[in-house]
Structure 1
Amino acid sequence: MLTPETLKSLASDSVHAGKAQVGVPVYDRAAVTPGIVHFGVGNFFRAHLANYVDRVLSLPENASDPQARQWGIIGVGLRESPRALRKAEDFVAQDGLYSLTEAATGGARDIRVLGALKGYLLAPREGEKVLALLASPETRIVSLTITEGGYNIDETPGPNRGKFRLKTRAVAEDLADSGHPKTVFGFVAEGMRRRRAAGLGGVTILSCDNLRHNGDVSRKAFLGYAQALDPELAAWMEANCTFPNAMVDRITPSVSQETMDRLNARSGLQDLQPLLAEDFTQWVVEDKFAAGRPAFEKVGVQFSDQVSAFEHAKIRMLNCSHLILSAAGMLMGVDLVHDVLAYPQLRRFVDDVLDRDVIPTLQAPPGVDLVAYKDTILTRFANKAMADQVARIAADATSKAQVFWTETVRSVLENPDHDPSRIITMQALLLELLRGRREDGTLFELEEPALDEAQLEIAHYEGLDESPGKEREVFTLPAFDSWRDLMTPELEDRISRERRRLRCLGVLEALAAPSA
């Protein structure tokens, strides 16, 4: 098992047991104290934020700087599933250590053991410890990867659109018993209440999720909850906490048992939680930190007051096309992103969406050529070493479509002179994905936390030609909320006809033969 004792043997031998060379933390982990509390310890966080913190800790000039060592991370899990319990046990057993293998498209590998994660708490079982940590004067950043749909913002057209939803069961329960929270909003609010009572300052609440204006969304969510709990607390948080916007980018595929065995065989480690990522990584963030931050600018992080431009480019190009490819792959029964992209029909369709529907309506970030950026994205998708599973990307497609597709869909539908055919095909692919049946007739399950039981039943409806009224119910699904005001009966008819084509012809033939 990977432990602090393992690090000693790795440090003494540049090559471990005849295996690949493995880098180890060059800093004294025992001297690192936690300054960051992170909610949502998934693969992306471990390969992105935790990786940047590890690199800062590794800077030679920080070896003798006590302040630089105050940025260790304590991870927090909010769920109590068998998988979450196992993760917690693994992190505790390995003292937060894990290996990261960075794989380049050309086949090169870099393997390092990361040590920035100093502890892990499972909130359902250790809630008071989490609250004490949030209220600690040493904690200065609360970071988040709680998924695109985890911010509980109402996207339904109407007076509450864009507001924090107070009537969900979990939120209502937290508001009724704020001293024993279950949601991230309840934990942060109670932690901030304790800080205020103790006369401490605020913290930076830092979203690392793929959201447009993720800092603004975080601010709206956390202040919305706090306002409902205690308006004075909300006012204090607004005055003392900051919510930087940030654009994050790195492909980190799921790690199956087979992948885990392969990674460990290459490294020579017995790592319970090995991690794989591409060699590309990007983080553009506003420099708005309430209580200091690590020297991220020294390890490749770009600070900018134009984050939204980078964010829009990434979400509308990379995430948009990622979801298209994954929806198609799920329907075709093709498991890996690079295999889906290898089909000329799909490559051409994604090229057309980006070239005709996205790039013409997108402001390029400073110094970025959007066509070159598109080519970089598709090269990254073609990286076979990632073996990135389409099921991972297709999960929570309802929420992702609202985040990744909305601006493009709206820009096309609001322009009467723009050809909407590709946007129609995208929506048809999404509905067929939500139906949960492949081209060969086999069923598959998706994680769709944004849909309740009644909505899942609507999504799974099979008979496109049996009941026109029933068929149209799919357009009540929340996937359409962000552009519902632009939907017309004619548009719904065209999407339904495209669904029939996808079912009759299959994805590849339907894309090769343009719809009428």
Structure 2
Amino acid sequence: MQSITETHKTVARKEKILQFGEGNFLRAFVDWMIDILNEKTDFDGNVVIVQPLERGLSDMINDQKGLYTTILRGVQGGKNVEEFRTISSVSRCLNPYKKDDYEAYMKLAESEDLRFIVSNTTEAGIAYSEGNSLQDTPQAAFPAKVCAFLYKRYKAFDGAQDKGIIVIPVELIDKNGDNLKRIVLQYAKEWNLEAGFTTWLDEACDFCNSLVDRIVPGYPRAEAAQLCEKIGYQDNLLDAAEIFHLWVIECHKEFHEDELPFNKAGLNVIWTDDMSFYRTRKVRILNGAHTMSVLAAYQAGHNTVQDCIADKNLLYPFMHGGIFEEIIPSMDGSKEELEAYANDVLERFENPYNPHQLLSISLNSVSKFKTRNLPSLLGYITKQGSLPKRLVFALSALISFYEGTEYEGSALKGKRGNETYLIQDNQDILETFAALYKERDEGLARAKRISTAVLSNSAWWSQDLTQIEGLQYAVEKNLEAIWSVGMQKAMQAL
């Protein structure tokens, strides 16, 4: 079979977008949109991807000259729909941890064509960490990379106002653009950069908040060979996603749809000056349902979100009850509108074409629980005056899922029956859990010790959760049940 580079051609365009992150989501969302912009408008721009970690997909992407295929599948109007698209909007992928790539990456700061930065470095990526300097090649922290890159651009163009950058992060944290800018300014101050740079950041650049909505299972490993036969060429970077997509972009200075004419291309993009409603609805219902369910579901023997929907006796009632009886009652806004959105979400979860792997959703679950589920848990307590039993159980299942004491690479190894699975999160979080699980106590004493350490960790939750009346006791009892009778029976007891 011929390769994708033998059957399709790359297209040379101006490199207008710098993208931090080479993962499945950005390639099936942002880069897919840019490909459509190039086809349907006069945008005429390509994306340069920067690999944010030392290990990643840069070699695979460059081997295919940036080309790959998106497979959008779902049900529309009662009919199964399948759309294939060969993406040609990625010109190259740089690994800044390689000397030559680092120089090419920083050279982009001097580009007349560059106008946008987009990113997806997970919820944990937009965070300050000590030990980064302007001289690092590159900096470890993502916001430090952005600060150094923008400072290089500021110097290259002598602070020209028309050389500012529009920054649109898509990480699923509240006010992602505002938070990224805040940390960039923190590094600028720490590195003693001149006041003119911070003025240029304020006046010439626009750090937009944004919200993305598309389920992207990614590489369809189980059916990759069959799909390549169907499209007629070998593609090692197939990227599967649902058909639905939504991008809400909140701008501070002006809407940038004249430069990114998504709506002219028929794409579902909303430019707004206040995205709070859209964000709360999506993060707490769609993402919240994922994070609430997947860790318990995996430990109960399931592997995909579709497995959960199909399990009408245990996992589906858990997810449905969590959404309609706990998450929605914790929120403000129209109950009817929220329930309508929730029903659409459950239908999207059932999409038979995209078996979304639970383990892929489990990445960085501590920060995800804080962002997606903790506001619902606390809001429910405030509004209803009691603990939401499913959300509390989800927190207990998180603690149970992170049980491991040995590593495989940078991941902690957990066990499900005779299987080993990888627990992936920030290193300090994994080290904390590994230390907690090394001690050999059992039963309620073990549950009490571990729950106390986890719930009281204000660095993780921005508060001491042991101070919430009844929460620690409920988590202890859940953990004791999970460890003694197994996840399925513990969930049934709810």
TM-score (norm 2): 0.86
Tell me the distance in 2 between the aligned counterparts of 1:361 and 1:489: 17
**Aligned amino acid, residue 140 of structure 1:** R
- Whether 1:131 aligns to 2:110 is no
On the 8 A contact 1:104/1:385 being kept in 2, the answer is yes
CA distance change for structure 1 residues 415 and 371 in 2, over 3 Å: closer, same or farther?
Answer: closer
In structure 2, do the counterparts of structure 1 residues 425 and 501 end up closer, same or farther at CA, with 3 Å as the change threshold? Answer: same
1:207 CA drift (Å): 0.5
Write the distance in 2 (CA, Å) between the matches of 1:185 and 1:470.
Answer: 33
1:226 and 2:188 equivalent?
yes
Kindly indicate whether residue 454 of structure 2 is the aligned counterpart of residue 474 of structure 1.
Answer: yes
8 Å contact kept, 2:19–2:47: yes
1:204 aligned partner, one-letter code: I
* Pairing 1:395–2:363 present: yes
C-alpha contact 1:205 1:244 (8 A) present in aligned 2: yes
Q: Kindly report which structure 2 residues correspond to 1:273-312, keeping only aligned pairs within 5 A, or say none.
A: 273-288=237-252, 293-298=259-264, 299-300=266-267, 301-312=269-280
1:102 aligns with 2:66: no
Tell me the distance in 2 between the aligned counterparts of 1:411 and 1:278: 31
Give a deviation string over 1:239-272, Cα, whole Å, max 9, x none: 3211111110111114254343232122111112
User: What's the CA shift string for 1:16-38, capped at 9, x where partnerless?
Assistant: xxxxxxxxxxxx923x2111000
User: For the residues of structure 2 that align with 1:507 and 1:384, how far apart are their CA atoms?
Assistant: 26
Give, in whole Å, the separation in 2 of the partners of 1:471 and 1:5.
56
Bigger mean CA offset, 502-511 vs 240-249: 502-511
- Asked whether the 8 Å contact 1:35–1:73 carries over to 2, the reply is yes
Distance 1:308 1:43 in 2: 26
Greater strand fraction, Structure 1 or Structure 2: 2
One-letter amino acid of the counterpart of residue 59, structure 2: E
Q: Secondary structure at the residue paired with 1:151?
A: coil
1:342 maps onto 2:324 in alignment = no
**Using the alignment, how far apart are the partners of 1:235 and 1:333 within structure 2?**
54
Contact 1:215 1:243 in 2 (8 A): yes
Question: 1:464–1:471: 8 Å Cα contact kept in structure 2?
Answer: no
Instruction: Give 2:169's aligned residue.
Output: 207
Over 3 Å counting, the alpha-carbon distance change for 1:452 and 1:211 in structure 2 is closer
- Cα deviation, residue 288, structure 1: 4.9
Instruction: Report 1:117-266 matches (<5 A).
Output: 117-125=90-98, 126-152=101-127, 164-165=128-129, 167=130, 172-175=131-134, 177-178=135-136, 180-197=138-155, 198-199=157-158, 200=160, 201-229=163-191, 230=193, 232=195, 233-255=197-219, 257-266=221-230
Displacement of 1:458 = 4.1
Over 3 Å counting, the alpha-carbon distance change for 1:381 and 1:439 in structure 2 is same
Deviation at 1:287, TM superposition (A): 4.2
> In structure 1, which of residues 110, 114, 139 is the aligned counterpart of residue 87 of structure 2?
114
> Which residue of structure 1 lines up, in the alignment, with residue 424 of structure 2?
447
Residue 14 of structure 1 corresponds to none
Amino acid corresponding to residue 361 of structure 1 in structure 2:
S
Q: For 2:451 and 2:281, how far apart are their aligned partners in 1?
A: 34
Change (3 A) 1:439 1:120: closer
What is aligned with 2:437?
A: 460
Residues of 1 paired with 2:450 and 2:304: CA distance?
A: 34
2:149 corresponds to which letter in structure 1?
A: G
Corresponding residue SS for 2:423: coil
Query: Relative to structure 1, is the Cα distance of residues 330 and 228 closer, same or farther in structure 2, using a 3 angstrom cutoff?
Result: same
Matched, 1:494 2:474: yes
Q: Find the counterpart in structure 2 of residue 155 from structure 1.
A: none
Partner of 2:372 in structure 1?
A: 404
8 Å Cα contact 2:22/2:51 also seen in 1 = yes
Q: Deviations over 1:289-338 (max 9, x none)?
A: 78863201223212222311111111100111111221122212321111
Cα 1:184–1:440 shift into 2, 3 Å:
closer
Where relative contact order (Cα < 8 A, 6+ residues apart) is larger, the structure is 1
What's the Cα RMSD here? 2.7
CA contact (8 A) 1:327 1:429 kept: yes
Mapped contact 1:2–1:97 kept (Cα < 8 A): no
Distance apart, 1:190 and its partner CA:
2.3
- Give a deviation string over 1:138-162, Cα, whole Å, max 9, x none: 111011011111111xxxxxxxxxx
Gaps of 5+ in 2: 405-413
Give 5+ residue unaligned stretches, structure 1. Answer: 9-27, 153-163
What residue number does 2:27 align with?
Answer: 46
User: How far, CA to CA, are the matches of 2:14 and 2:308 in structure 1?
Assistant: 44
Residues 175 and 209 in structure 2, CA contact (< 8 A), matched pair in contact too:
yes
Asked whether the equivalents of residues 37 and 134 of structure 1 are also in contact (C-alpha less than 8 Å), the reply is no
Aligned letter for 2:293? Answer: L
* Partner residue, 2:488: 508
Q: Any idea what the Cα deviations from partners look like across 1:70-118, whole Å, max 9, x if unmatched?
A: x21111113232xx2xx32232232211111111145421111011111
Q: What's the TM-score, normalizing by structure 1? A: 0.83
Contact 1:212 1:315 in 2 (8 A): no
Report SS of the residue matched to 1:465: helix
What is the CA–CA distance in structure 2 between the aligned matches of 1:483 and 1:379, rounded to whole Å? 35
| Letter of the structure 2 residue corresponding to residue 351 of structure 1 | H
Moved more, 281-290 or 378-387: 281-290
SS at match of 1:148: coil
Q: Per the alignment, do residues 287 and 258 of structure 1 end up closer, same or farther by CA in structure 2, a change over 3 Å counting?
A: same
Q: CA deviation at 1:498?
A: 1.3
For residues 369 and 212 of structure 2, what CA distance do their matches in structure 1 show?
A: 18
Task: Report the Cα distance in structure 1 between the residues aligned to 2:306 and 2:86, rounded to whole angstroms.
Answer: 27
CA distance in 2, matches of 1:353, 1:109: 31
Superposition deviation, residue 459 in structure 1: 4.9
Change (3 A) 1:508 1:326: same
Measured after TM superposition, the shift of residue 375 of structure 1 is 1.0
